[in-house]
């Protein structure tokens, strides 16, 4: 260690305590004798101090490292140990430039002297081995520089050897003292200002934690305002420019007010810093504090002979074992629990593992709800909830019967696999509610998920648990919600699935809906097989067209056709009217709708295969009547009892209650027209009439097709024209088919139309145009026409017949291949409208046109 390093440590310690140390007026004889207070004029050596402001009544240690300062101190020692300390600024400040120095001298290059400084006495000087010196300065009074002059350093005066001994002059200045702040004991306003400053400084010292107790005591004891300002200005950790401002203010009131404003500003800054630091520290230490508390609780529990964390893990393990999962699942859960025990409770991985084990604990692994084996009860429940739907109900009853016979032989409920049913039908026909009725009839839990718009495979299979916020897919989530291994699971709107870059959910369902695979369904999150083989899956769809074939192949299709007027009437009377009476507060009223009134609503205010719109219209009627009953003072006390309200709704009342009729018949011509024939179409909302119009004009045998037709329907029109050309020798054409252009149009061109079942209708319209003979009115037809003239069977038979019936058709021509389908229809539909079955086009045209269009001998 160098010999002066110990001294430097001592000086550093002295600076920490003595930098703010105040020498009292009775601090020593030498100080009392030498103290000068505000002399008129005197000339003192200038000592430049960099970034350091000396105030009167304060003592500070200063290290002098530049040659000008060392020379100034040495010359001051010859002048009664007194000098004038001023803080040097750069050349942008306001002050007095020093006298010119010789070329190469230090101190005159850009530095200026402020006009204000402090006269000071050198209390102690210590020369250091490296040539620098340390002095302790005591401030005496404030003063301003009147003028500066430069004096040469005497040749024998440089009694030291510095690192760069080349200074030949020093500066002295004539000083004019700045008067101190006057104070009298009777000056209450100034005394109040002093008390406010002392109080603010006490608050400041409490916030900063850097003010020595000696300084605080000195400030609290003093009543001299000049001394007070000097002590506080020296103690405050503020910028040098602000200290110079406080040193240079001449007006006493302004100086006190500036000091108080500075104190209040620093207090506010410290308060904001403390608030910000507290918030940041609170956030940073929260996790550490929780960790320490958890560790302390752990140690306390150990001392008490119990470990809460271990108890919790043991309880979790016992809960998993109580679920009786397969051995593979139990081994996986125990492995994850062992990993969990080794982790800190607050670590992110611990939360992931805990959530995973809790999912295993919450899933049903061996819980089964007992199935109802009472066929009569199940049938009664199904009939209570839904009208007709014979095929679907029969299939459920068959499953119950097989379940009853097979349960005893298989040894338990897990022995029989659940079927995969798919209910296909128009909207509003009760497919979803039928799934709920199936669950009630079987005595099972019911869960439902909607697949409409699902386009992410992870919605079915889940995310791997390494992802943040990962969860199992909808299948596993629904199984936990069900709580049993054999619920009725409804997958609604399966034809509305779609796929994108995130995967194909329809492909993910292949494993779920395959009875041979779903016993080992593996969710990405669970990573263990889960048995879905005993689940009764029911899917619903409006059309088979939106279901991929591999998925369709795994399901048992049960068609739920639209309702006819007779069925809608029965549903309205048995289900909809009682339901809406109860929901609209009219259950106690004597309110009825006549059968004819219901038929009018069905025909002219709704046009659908289901009954949703019918339910809404009935609800509208009852809301209007509820309002009428309230106006007549029926209902809540003190009004008249609702049982006294009577009303019968007849067809004549409907326009007043529902407004004008919304629907009329389809575009159907009741009179005979050449080139016009009437087909039948199936839509997702039911059946509809499909009129076809054809006109012929001179040309080259071209075919123009309009009406927003699809490719299949356009091909049917070309097939019809080709067949007529080949069979022209059998009919009396009045137009030359080779020199006539034909324009086929299907009205309501804004509606897209497609399908092959209009083939016979298109051919009939073309034949009527060629023969200039109108078909018989009141006849509708449907069937696919081949190039050889055969008429093939079609789908949607019930909906098409209902459309013909609704539009007043007298006869319907059907393909002979649909005879079995017709015989399965309800008796009221079969008896409502006559049908004619045909095998080929000639038979159909004979019914439409008679024999007048045939050639003799044909």
pLDDT digits (tens, 9 = 90+) for 575-627: 999 999 999 999 889 999 999 999 999 888 988 888 999 999 999 999 999 99
Nearest residue to 421 (alpha-carbon basis) of 561, 536, 545, 544: 536
Q: What is the per-residue pLDDT for 853?
A: 80
User: What angle, 0 to 180 degrees and rounded to 10, lies between the N-to-C axes of helices 308-322 and 348-362?
Assistant: 30
Instruction: Give the C-alpha separation, 764 to 783, whole Å.
Output: 11
Query: Among the ranges 108-117, 302-311, 556-565, which has the highest mean pLDDT value?
Result: 556-565
Which of the following is catalytic: 252, 437, 757, 768?
A: 757
Residue 317 in this model has a pLDDT that exceeds 60: yes
pLDDT for position 20: 39
For residue 372, give Cα distances in angstroms to 402, 445, 462.
12, 12, 33
Q: CA-to-CA distance for 632 and 640, rounded, in angstroms?
A: 9
Rounded to 10 degrees, the C-alpha dihedral 23/29/30/32 comes to 70
pLDDT of residue 391: 84
Omega within 30 of 0 (cis) for the link into 299: no
Q: Does the pLDDT of residue 26 top 80, yes or no?
A: no
**What pLDDT does 184 receive?**
62
Instruction: Quick: pLDDT tens for 437-474.
Output: 999 998 899 999 999 888 888 889 998 888 888 899 99
Structure tokens at 48: 């430049």
Tens-digit pLDDT profile for residues 660-719: 988 776 666 677 889 999 999 988 767 888 999 999 998 888 999 999 999 999 999 999
How far is residue 230 from each of residues 27, 187, 211, 225, measured CA to CA in Å? 18, 20, 15, 9
**pLDDT band per the 50, 70, 90 thresholds, residue 649:** very high
* pLDDT beyond 90 at 758: yes
**Token couple for 301:** 């529990």
pLDDT above 50: residue 162: no
In this predicted model, which residue has the larger pLDDT, 805 or 109? 805
Highest mean pLDDT among 128-132, 326-330, 643-647: 326-330
> pLDDT at position 287, please?
65
Using CA atoms, how far apart are residues 393 and 437, in angstroms rounded to an integer? Answer: 10
Kindly state the tokens that stand for 786.
Answer: 């081949």
Cα separation, 375 vs 373, in Å, equals: 6
Cα-Cα-Cα-Cα torsion 778, 782, 785, 790, nearest 10 degrees, comes to: -80
Q: What are phi and psi of 558, to 5 degrees?
A: -125, 115
Q: Is 800 a catalytic residue?
A: yes
Bridge partners, residue 50, by sequence: 88
Position 667 scores a pLDDT of 62
Instruction: Give ∠ CA 511-516-520 in degrees, rounded to 5.
Output: 60
Which of 393, 431, 798, 800 is catalytic? The answer is 800
Angle at alpha carbon of residue 371, lines to 428 and 441, rounded to 5°: 30
Which has more pLDDT, 3 or 419? 419
Q: Are strands 169-177 and 133-152 parallel, antiparallel or unpaired?
A: antiparallel
pLDDT above 80 for 245: yes
pLDDT interval class at 31 (50, 70, 90): very low
Residue 150: per-residue pLDDT: 87
Q: Which residue has the higher pLDDT, 106 or 461?
A: 461
List C-alpha distances in Å: 837 to 554, 730, 802.
34, 22, 17
Q: Predicted confidence band at 283 (pLDDT cuts at 50, 70, 90)?
A: low
- pLDDT at residue number 501: 72
The pLDDT score that the predictor gives to residue 650 is: 93
- Pairing verdict, β 676-683 and 791-792: unpaired
Q: Determine the pLDDT at residue 110.
A: 44
Provide Rg for the chain, Cα atoms. 52
Distance CA 107, CA 181 (A): 35
Residue 538 predicted with pLDDT over 90: yes
User: 135: pLDDT confidence band, cut at 50, 70 and 90?
Assistant: very high
Three-point CA angle 17, 20, 26, nearest 5°: 100
pLDDT at site 32:
39
**574, 455 Cβ separation under 8 angstroms:** no
- In tens, the pLDDT along 292-301 reads 776 777 677 6
Alpha carbons within 13 A on the beta-carbon side of 777 = 8
Split at pLDDT 50, 70, 90, the class of 34 is very low
Q: Which of 16-20, 483-487, 733-737, 746-750 bottoms out in mean pLDDT, i.e. has the lowest?
A: 16-20
Query: What is the pLDDT, as a whole number, of residue 185?
Result: 57
Mean pLDDT, residues 230-237 taken together = 90
CA 195 to chain centre: 58
* Arithmetic mean of pLDDT, 796-815: 89
- pLDDT score at 129: 86
Confidence of residue 308 (pLDDT cuts 50, 70, 90): low
> What local confidence, expressed as pLDDT, does residue 9 receive?
42
- Average pLDDT over the chain, rounded to an integer: 83
Q: Is the pLDDT of residue 646 over 80?
A: yes
Q: Give which of 775, 760, 778, 789 is closest to 853, Cα–Cα.
A: 775
Cα–Cα distance measured from residue 782 to residue 761, given in angstroms and rounded to the nearest whole number: 7
**Least trusted range by pLDDT, from 254-258, 385-389, 416-420, 747-751:** 416-420
Q: Report pLDDT for 491.
A: 94
* pLDDT interval class at 305 (50, 70, 90): low
The token duo for 197 is 């400053």
**What average pLDDT does range 331-356 have in this prediction?**
85
> Average pLDDT, stretch 91-107?
43
Does residue 675 sit in helix, strand or coil? coil
Phi-psi domain of 546 (left: phi exceeds 0; alpha: psi -120 through 50; beta: other): alpha
Confidence (pLDDT) at 97: 52
pLDDT at 577: 94
- Record the pTM: 0.60
pLDDT for 66: 84
Please check whether residue 755 is in contact with residue 710, taking contact to mean a CB–CB distance below 8 angstroms. yes
Whether pLDDT at 35 is above 80: no
Question: Reduced to 3 DSSP states, what percent helix, strand and coil does the chain have, rounded to the nearest 5?
Answer: 45, 20, 35
Active site residue 632: no
What is the tens place of the pLDDT at every residue in 178-208? 888 776 655 788 888 888 998 999 998 888 8
Q: How far apart are CA 225 and CA 260, in angstroms?
A: 12
């Amino acid at each position: 260690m160098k010999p002066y390093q110990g001294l430097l440590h001592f000086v550093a310690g002295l600076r920490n305590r003595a930098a703010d140390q105040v020498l009292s007026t009775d601090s020593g004889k030498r100080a009392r004798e030498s103290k000068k207070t505000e002399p008129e004029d005197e000339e003192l050596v200038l000592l430049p101090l960099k970034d350091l402001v000396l105030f009167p009544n304060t003592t500070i240690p200063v290290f002098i490292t530049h040659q000008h300062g060392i020379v100034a101190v040495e010359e001051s020692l010859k002048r009664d140990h007194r000098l004038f300390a001023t803080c040097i600024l750069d050349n942008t400040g306001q002050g007095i430039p020093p006298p010119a120095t010789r070329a190469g001298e230090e101190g005159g290059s850009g530095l200026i002297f402020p006009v204000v400084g402090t006269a000071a006495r050198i209390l102690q000087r210590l020369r250091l081995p490296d040539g620098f010196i340390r002095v302790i300065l005591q401030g005496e009074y404030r003063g301003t520089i009147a003028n500066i002059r430069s004096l040469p350093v005497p040749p024998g005066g440089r009694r030291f050897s510095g690192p760069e001994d080349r200074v030949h002059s020093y500066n002295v200045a004539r000083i004019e003292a700045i008067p101190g702040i006057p104070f009298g004991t009777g000056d209450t306003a100034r005394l109040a200002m002093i008390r406010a400053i002392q109080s603010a400084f006490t608050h400041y010292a409490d916030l900063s934690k850097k003010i020595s107790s000696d300084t605080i005591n000195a400030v609290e004891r003093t009543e001299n305002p000049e001394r007070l300002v000097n002590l506080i200005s020296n103690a405050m950790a503020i910028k040098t420019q602000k200290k110079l401002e406080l040193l240079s203010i001449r007006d006493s009131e302004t100086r006190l007010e500036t000091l108080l404003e500075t104190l209040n500003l620093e207090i506010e800054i410290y308060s904001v810093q403390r608030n910000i630091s507290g918030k940041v520290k609170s956030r940073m230490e929260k996790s550490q504090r929780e960790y320490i508390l958890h560790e302390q609780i752990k140690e306390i529990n150990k001392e008490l002979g119990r470990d809460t964390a271990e108890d919790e893990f043991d309880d979790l393990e016992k809960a998993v074992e109580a679920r009786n999962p397969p051995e593979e699942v139990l081994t996986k859960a125990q492995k994850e629990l062992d990993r969990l025990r080794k982790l800190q409770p607050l670590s992110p991985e611990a939360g992931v593992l805990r959530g995973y084990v809790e999912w295993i604990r919450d899933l049903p692994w061996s819980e089964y709800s007992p199935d109802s084996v009472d066929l009569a009860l199940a049938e009664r429940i199904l009939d209570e909830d839904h009208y007709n739907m014979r095929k679907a109900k029969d299939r459920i009853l068959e499953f119950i019967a097989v379940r009853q016979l097979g349960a005893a032989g298989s040894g338990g409920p897990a022995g029989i696999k659940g079927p995969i049913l798919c209910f296909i039908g128009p909207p509003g026909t009760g497919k979803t509610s039928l799934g709920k009725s199936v669950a009630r009839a079987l005595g099972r839990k019911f869960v439902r998920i909607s697949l409409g718009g699902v386009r992410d495979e992870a919605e079915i299979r889940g995310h791997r648990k390494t992802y943040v916020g990962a969860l199992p897919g909808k299948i596993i989530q629904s199984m936990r919600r069900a709580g049993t291994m054999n619920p009725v699971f409804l997958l609604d709107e399966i034809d509305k699935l779609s796929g994108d870059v995130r995967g194909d959910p329809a492909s993910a369902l292949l494993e779920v809906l395959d009875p041979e695979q779903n016993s080992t369904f593996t969710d990405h999150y669970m990573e263990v097989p889960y048995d879905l083989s005993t689940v009764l899956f029911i899917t619903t769809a409006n059309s088979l067209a939106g279901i991929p074939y591999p998925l369709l192949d795994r399901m048992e299709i049960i068609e739920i056709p639209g309702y006819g007027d007779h069925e809608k009437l029965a549903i309205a009377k048995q289900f909809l009217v009682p339901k809406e009476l109860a929901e609209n507060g009219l259950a106690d009223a004597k309110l009825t709708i006549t059968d004819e009134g219901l038929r009018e609503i069905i025909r002219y205010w709704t046009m659908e295969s289901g009954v949703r719109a019918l339910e809404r219209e009935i609800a509208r009627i009852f809301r209007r009547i509820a309002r009428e009953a309230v106006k007549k003072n029926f209902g809540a006390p003190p009004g008249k009892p609702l049982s006294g309200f009577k009303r019968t709704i007849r067809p004549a009342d409907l326009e007043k209650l529902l407004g004008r009729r919304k629907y009329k018949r389809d575009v159907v011509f009741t009179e005979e027209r050449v080139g016009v024939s009437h087909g039948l179409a199936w839509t997702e909302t039911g059946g509809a009439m499909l009129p076809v119009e054809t006109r012929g004009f001179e040309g080259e045998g071209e075919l123009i097709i309009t009406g927003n037709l699809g490719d299949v329907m356009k091909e049917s029109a070309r097939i019809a024209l080709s067949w007529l050309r080949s069979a022209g020798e059998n009919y009396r054409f009045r137009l030359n088919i080779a020199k006539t252009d034909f324009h086929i149009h299907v009205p309501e061109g804004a509606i897209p139309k497609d399908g092959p079942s209009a083939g016979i209708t298109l051919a009939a319209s073309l034949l009527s145009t060629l023969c200039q003979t109108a078909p018989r009115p009141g006849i509708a037809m449907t069937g696919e026409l081949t190039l050889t003239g055969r008429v093939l069977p079609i789908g949607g038979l019930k909906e098409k017949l209902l459309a013909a019936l609704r539009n007043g058709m007298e006869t319907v021509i059907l393909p002979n291949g649909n005879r079995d389908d017709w015989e399965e229809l309800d008796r009221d539909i079969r008896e409502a409208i006559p049908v004619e079955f045909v095998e080929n086009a000639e038979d159909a045209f004979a019914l439409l046109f008679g024999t007048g269009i045939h050639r003799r001998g044909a």
